[in-house]
A and B are shown apart, each in its own frame.
Chain A
Amino acid sequence: MQEVCPMNEYIFALLALIAILGAVSVYFKRSPFDKLIGLAVMMGGAIPLIVMKGYIDVAILVAIIMPLTSIFILQATGRNSDDA
């Protein structure tokens, strides 16, 4: 069993903390734009964990699909669609 990555446990703990803070931000914020920003923070914490595990192709697919979902949500519930 070779060593997958040279990272130590501090970087793993820091990335997990970033992902948890993003999820908490999605739960507690009121504005939908703040919720989308929290979602981006959460995926920014989750994608390096996928890369450090070794599944780089999965990380490339997630990094391509994640902004597409955010753009679709923005087109569905944009600011200029209903009120302004």
Chain B
Amino acid sequence: MEDTGMIPVYICGIVALYAVLRVLTEKQTLRKLVFLNVMNFAITGLIVLSIPDIMSLFAGIAYFVGSTLESNAIASTYAGGVPNE
């Protein structure tokens, strides 16, 4: 390899691609959500490692909080949610 600083980026990319393939091939929806969370971790790592700038940290924070909220909202609605009477 030409640069050893690219190894964490490659690891995050491989984890993200594996999680996406597991999301596409799972049958049950709740098992899809587990690997969606794995993909969110890997994509957050890619965002933070991408640019040597302090603003990429805030972009990673915003993406992580938002994607975790979205995954939990989908899982809560799929599991039944708050019952309305």
Contacts and interface: CB of A to CB of B under 8 A. Distances in A.
Interface of A: 4-8, 10-11, 14-15, 17-18, 21-22, 25, 31, 33-34, 36-37, 40-41, 44-45, 47-48, 51-52, 54, 56-57, 59-60, 63-64, 66-67, 70-71, 74, 78-81, 84
SS class, residues of chain A in contact with chain B: helix
B51 A71 contact: no
SS class, residues of chain B in contact with chain A: helix
How extensive is the interface on chain B, given as a class? 35 or more
21 contacts: A5-B50, A8-B6, A10-B10, A14-B16, A14-B17, A25-B24, A37-B32, A37-B33, A41-B39, A44-B43, A45-B43, A59-B59, A59-B62, A59-B63, A66-B67, A67-B70, A74-B74, A79-B77, A80-B77, A80-B81, A80-B84
